[in-house]
């Protein structure tokens, strides 16, 4: 029996596999009612907004100044609430 | 070792554009897991919000390799996965279970208890939003007294099941509580858990804006208030020694705690509470801290028991 040439199946585990990528449900920025606007003069670069942002849409420049990825920001307002110097304003979407 | 925010790389720890609600504590928690454990972690996720957050195939909204598994088998699947990695000689991989409170306190409890008893080398994180939020805010074993859910519309009549204490009773090497309101504390505990061999359990308190009925911007504030009112004590149990974490140490004294009403009034799920209900919750907090006091004073709870038997 051992010399019977049985072709091995290509894969025993056929399962759908997803890979991590931004925008798995599209551009979630359209969910927003209010958008966070950062006042760069007030910002003290403490990075608390970056730490608490659930979406990873607060991004850091080389000098640790933060900016917002408006394509995906859902506008929850956590960044504005945790900012110790109130440098983030929530502005209604026009 | 304190966590320094400036040292973290400028990469995506979580994938933006996922299916989580605005202000979701679970995506916050998943970012901190990525910050703490890096690329060497593999997640096992039973049914729950985190299975939905991943979004639509072929993209995934969570920046980890994930095995999605049935509700009751998260811990056993992780145990098997860890055994598989050991066979391949990949000891550097951390297998992490990321389960909700329903998947931990109710449906997955037997699998978790089994894995803890066998001492499987995995990290089990229970992300506790205190109800079955994904299916429509039904009550779970971890829902606190008085909370409104769609199945307890006049308020729950029983107290919250204390899963960290159940895990301490399993005599596992590492048990900790954490909160999304204190990410540095959570990251430190995860890093410590990654160095411990054996079953590690971390209970992460995660206020859910949808199910708890509050403004999505208040997620960290409410998580912090839960710690400040003493409702959610942060502690660490390592090798038989219980230690209250630094953010919670002040609230050991009853007078130092923030009044419980400050925490309750921000949440719509507690809107119907009477003063008598608040009193019952306050008594629950006192009992919880009395328990912690007992465990903290014992130099080594399991060791003390052995000593008593020796005499």
The reply to whether A25 falls in a domain is no
Are B55 and A81 within 8 A, CB to CB? no
| pLDDT band, residue A17 (cuts 50/70/90) | confident
Q: What is the pLDDT of residues B250-259, one digit of tens each?
A: 999 999 999 9
Tell me whether residues B217 and A81 touch, CB distance under 8 A. yes
pLDDT of A2 over the 60 cut = no
What is the reported pLDDT for B104?
94
- Residue pair B75/B97 in contact by the 8 Å Cβ criterion: yes
- Residue A47: domain span: 40-92
The CATH number linked to B296 is 3.40.50.970
Residue B8 belongs to a domain: no
Whether the CB-CB separation of A85 and A43 falls below 8 Å is answered with: yes
B300 Cβ contact partners less than 8 Å away, ≥ 6 residues apart = B239, B240, B241
Could you give the number of structural domains in chain A? 1
Tokens of B45: 């996720």
Would you state the pLDDT for residue A13?
A: 65
pLDDT < 50: residue spans in chain B: none
Nearest residue of chain A to residue B7 (CA atoms): A64
Range of the domain at B232: 13-310
What's the first-to-final CA gap in chain A, in angstroms? 75
What CA–CA distances, in Å, run from B33 to B84, B170, B185, B204, B290?
A: 22, 24, 12, 11, 31
Host H or E run for residue B205: strand B200-205
DSSP A23-84: -BTB-GGGG-SEEEEE-TTT-----HHHHH-TTS-EEE-TTS-EEE-TTT-----HHHHH-T
Whether B63 contacts chain A with CB within 8 A: yes
Helix (H) or strand (E) run with residue B75 in it: helix B74-87
**CA angle A62–B32–B107, rounded 5-degree value:** 160
Q: Is residue B4 part of a domain?
A: no
Q: Which residue has the tokens 């025993």?
A: A12
Domain membership flag for residue A31: no
- Domain count of chain B? 1
**Residues with Cβ within 8 Å of residue A81, at least 6 apart in sequence:** B217, B218, B220, B221
CA-to-CA distance for B311 and B298, rounded, in angstroms? 17
CA distance B194 to B187: 11
- Does a structural domain hold residue A75? yes
Rg of chain B over all Cα atoms, to the nearest angstrom:
19
**pLDDT one-digit tens code per residue, B106-153:** 999 999 999 999 999 999 999 999 999 999 999 999 999 999 999 999
**Residue A71 structure tokens:** 């394509």
**A19 contacts in B (CB within 8 Å)?**
58-60
What does DSSP say about strands B59-60 and B41-45: parallel, antiparallel, or unpaired?
unpaired
Residue A13 lies in a domain: no
Considering only CB atoms, A56 lies closest to which of B31, B209, B221, namely B31
- Condensed to tens digits (0 to 9), the pLDDT of residues A51-66 reads 999 999 999 999 989 9
In a domain, A33, yes or no: no
Q: Residue A47 belongs to a domain with what CATH number?
A: 3.30.70.20
Q: Which residues of B touch A78 (CB under 8 A)?
A: 23, 216-217, 219-220
Number of residues assigned to chain A: 94
């Amino acid at each position: 029996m051992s010399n019977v040439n049985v072709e091995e199946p290509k894969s025993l585990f056929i399962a759908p596999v997803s890979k991590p990528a931004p925008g798995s449900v599209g551009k979630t920025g359209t969910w927003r009612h209010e958008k966070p606007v950062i006042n760069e003069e007030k910002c003290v670069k403490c990075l608390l907004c970056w730490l608490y942002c659930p979406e990873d849409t607060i991004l850091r420049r080389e000098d640790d100044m933060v900016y917002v990825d408006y394509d995906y920001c859902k506008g929850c307002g956590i960044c504005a609430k945790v900012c110790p110097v109130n440098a983030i304003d929530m502005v209604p979407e026009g | 070792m304190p966590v320094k925010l400036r040292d973290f790389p400028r990469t995506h720890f979580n994938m933006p554009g996922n299916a989580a609600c605005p202000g979701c504590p679970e995506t916050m928690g998943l970012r901190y897991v990525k910050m703490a454990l890096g690329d060497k972690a593999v997640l096992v996720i039973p049914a729950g919000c985190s299975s939905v957050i991943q979004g639509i195939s072929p993209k995934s909204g969570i920046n980890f390799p994930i095995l999605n598994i049935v509700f009751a088998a998260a811990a056993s699947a992780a145990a098997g996965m860890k055994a598989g990695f050991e066979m391949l000689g990949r000891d550097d991989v951390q297998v992490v279970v990321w389960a909700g409170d329903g998947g931990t306190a109710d449906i997955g409890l037997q699998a978790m208890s089994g894995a803890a008893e066998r001492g499987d080398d995995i990290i089990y994180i229970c992300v506790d939003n205190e109800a079955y939020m994904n299916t429509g805010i039904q009550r779970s074993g971890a829902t606190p007294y008085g909370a409104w859910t769609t199945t307890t519309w006049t308020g729950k009549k029983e107290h919250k099941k204390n899963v960290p204490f159940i895990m301490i009773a399993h005599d596992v090497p590492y048990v900790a509580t954490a909160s999304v309101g204190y990410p540095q504390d959570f990251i430190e505990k995860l890093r410590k858990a990654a160095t411990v061999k054996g079953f590690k359990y971390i209970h992460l308190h995660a206020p859910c804006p949808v199910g708890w009925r509050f403004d999505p911007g208040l997620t960290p504030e409410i998580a912090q208030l839960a710690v400040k009112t003493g409702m959610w004590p942060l502690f660490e149990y390592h090798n038989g020694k219980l230690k209250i974490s630094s953010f919670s140490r002040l609230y050991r004294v009853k007078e130092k705690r923030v009044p419980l009403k400050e925490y309750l009034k921000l949440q719509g799920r507690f809107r119907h509470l009477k003063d008598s209900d608040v009193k019952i919750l306050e008594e629950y907090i006192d009992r919880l801290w009395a328990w912690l006091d007992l465990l903290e004073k014992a130099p080594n709870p399991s060791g003390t028991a052995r000593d008593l038997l020796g005499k």
